[in-house]
Amino acid sequence: QVQLVESGGGLGQAGGSLRLSCAASGRAGGAYGMGWFRQAPGKERGFVAGISWIGDSPYYADSVEGRFTISRDNAKNTIYLEMSSLKHDDTALYSCSVGWTIGPKGPYDYWGQGTQVTVSS
């Protein structure tokens, strides 16, 4: 069983920055990496970024490419999402997940409860 705990969300200003963390405990056999997803009110959950545990190039959604940076600390079983140049459209509940890929289609399994990011205009 894998448990994921996100943290670091909150209120950010447009053009500002926030940093999210996702700490994983337990083992997911064969997992390749982890990903960040987000869900805005009234919208479906969407892929944000993915990263492998072995050093492959990260994968980003077009909407965040160049603004967000995903990174990992293997020793701490933790991934991060550095969010900069925030936009109002980045407002969402951000969740992390364990992936057997790092692309947007997955598969992904095990989800945290999420951390809310709200960007004020």
CA 13 to chain centre: 19
Is pLDDT at 54 greater than 90 in this prediction?
Answer: no
pLDDT category at 45 given cuts 50, 70, 90 is very high
Listed in sequence order, the DSSP H helices in 36-101 are: none
Is pLDDT at 43 greater than 90 in this prediction?
Answer: yes
Is pLDDT at 55 greater than 80 in this prediction?
Answer: no
Other CB atoms within 10 A of residue 78 CB: 17
Work out the percent of the chain whose per-residue pLDDT is above 70. Answer: 100
Pairing label, strands 10-13, 115-120: parallel
pLDDT category at 69 given cuts 50, 70, 90 is very high
Alpha carbon distance 112, 101 (integer Å): 18
pLDDT category at 57 given cuts 50, 70, 90 is confident
114's tokens: 């999420």
User: According to the model, what pLDDT value does residue 28 have?
Assistant: 75
pLDDT category at 42 given cuts 50, 70, 90 is very high
User: According to the model, what pLDDT value does residue 1 have?
Assistant: 83
User: According to the model, what pLDDT value does residue 113 have?
Assistant: 95
